[in-house]
Amino acid sequence: MIKGYMLIGGKKVFKKEKIVIDFPFDGSPVGTVPRGKKEDVELAVETALKGFEKVKSMTAYERYQALQKAARIIASRSREFAELLTLEVGKTIKESMGEVGRAVNTITLSAEEAKRVLGEEVRFDAAPGIKGKVGFFRRVPLGVIGCITPFNFPLNLTCHKVAPALAAGNAVVIKPSENTSLTVIKLAEVLVEAGFPPEAVNVVTGYGEEAGDALVRDERVRMITFTGSVATGKIIMSRGGLKKYAMELGSNAGVYVDKDQTGRLKELAERIGRGGYALAGQVCISVQRVFVHESLFEEFTKELCSFSKSLKVGDPRLEETDVGPVIDRNAADRIMEWIEEARSMGAQVLCGGRRLSETLIEPTVVVNVPREAKLFRQEVFGPVIVVNPVDSLEAAIEAVNDSPYGLQAGIFTNDLKAAFKFAEEVECGGIMVNEIPTFRVDQMPYGGVKESGIGREGPKFAVEEMTEIKTICFDLN
């Protein structure tokens, strides 16, 4: 059992009340973390204000150096981080190693951005009657940023919030998911070890309604960056008041397979399947809704089921496992309820659909799902792929857009005009042409429209979100 703690100003803070973190595969306890409350958040924010004064006085090069060092430390401890990720999240060890590699990349990219927090000259004399005035604007850090991070990528998605914040000269208070806090504590310690002031990197563990709520409501926190559900995102914005927000609120990503893809259905089924079943479907851009031209529907679903059945489901600690458990029993209960609801509404479960344990669900393909079903309308966050036939590109675009979400979408086609039409008309933050919507590299602008969120991640774009413009004018008359 790992005894976790809060990290406030570099000091380990323990409490009598604890939260147990369980291994999703079998429910065995991995460790405990303190149940942080309002007073812990207030102390962390007070500490972060002192940390902000220190981190903003670091030179751009010093912040760059510290982030580079943090990336090197994590790279040297890759296996240690990966094994903890697997225990906390339940993702396979292969997926965990992949996340550690991406986190190293995210921090390295953020290090480079520390040297690029740039402004530009403002031409005041471009206004009529103005002479002898020169000036510029600069980007300056906001202050204390509250980072509320999710369970599914506790290392890399925390890096996406914390590393750009520090690169820009801010201090942070991190409230990790209560399911996966141990990895985040380890990350925070690495950032301090790498050279950031201990007061600038704080972690308060606990529940969203307690520690998270106190962080959101604190007027000294200048920005909240959050990854999670739409419902929680709306609550945060209603309670947080006048501050900046970056919100990544999920999706039910759609992809269209055009009628000209006849020769590559086996390959596409495998790619789409991997996009739907990675991390047991618990990725914001998991492939959830597939729209296939009706002429290819039967062959495509046959290939997708063949691939789905080939995947090994089980203990995520084993190298040969392809699909591990979902995060907990409640999540599995909900996923199974949604599958049954779709079935009762006339959908057909072509393969999978069985629960192998409390948290293990077979990779599942459900076809002809009505649009009013939860599997179509909401985010399943489980190893379930919906496949519906469509008779045209226009029908596919309309079906992809028939969603409250708009994070990423994809199209497979050889027709350049079709690709452009899809890219122009689909309402999403990212369009992947001849690629699954699950594709993401950490330097790209990542974020959604509609209920998928506000703002963009990716170190360069996060730095812009986490700074504000200060205009400076000199009168030379």
φ/ψ (deg, to 5) at 39:
-65, -30
Q: What is the pLDDT of residues 154-189, one digit of tens each?
A: 999 999 999 999 999 999 999 999 999 999 999 999
User: Hunting for tokens 């990779």 — which residue is that?
Assistant: 363
Q: What's the sign of the alpha-carbon dihedral 148, 161, 448, 290?
A: negative
Q: Which of 465, 312, 281, 293 is nearest to 379 (CA)?
A: 281
Q: What is the DSSP letter of 113?
A: H
Q: Name the band, by pLDDT with cuts 50, 70 and 90, for residue 473.
A: very high
Mean pLDDT score of the chain: 98
Annotation says 320 is catalytic: no
**Percentage of residues in the chain with pLDDT exceeding 90?**
100
Residue pair 156/176 in contact (Cβ under 8 Å)? The answer is: no
Residue pair 405/250 in contact (Cβ under 8 Å)? The answer is: yes
Longest dimension (CA), the chain: 79
Q: What is the pLDDT of residues 259-279, one digit of tens each?
A: 999 999 999 999 999 999 999
Among 159, 284, 305, 351, the one annotated catalytic:
284
Beta bridge partners of 290: 255, 387
Residue pair 14/34 in contact (Cβ under 8 Å)? The answer is: yes
Instruction: Please give the pLDDT value at position 24.
Output: 98
- Taking residues 114-136, report their average pLDDT: 97
Q: Which of 260, 180, 248, 178 is nearest to 407 (CA)?
A: 248
User: Hunting for tokens 């792929």 — which residue is that?
Assistant: 385
Among 248, 303, 362, 451, the one annotated catalytic:
248
Q: How many of the other CB atoms lie within 10 Å of CB of 152?
A: 25
Q: What is the pLDDT of residues 60-110, one digit of tens each?
A: 999 999 999 999 999 999 999 999 999 999 999 999 999 999 999 999 999
The pTM of this model reads 0.97
Q: How many of the other CB atoms lie within 10 Å of CB of 164?
A: 31
Annotation says 248 is catalytic: yes
Contacts of 177 (CB under 8 A, 6+ apart): 149, 150, 151, 154
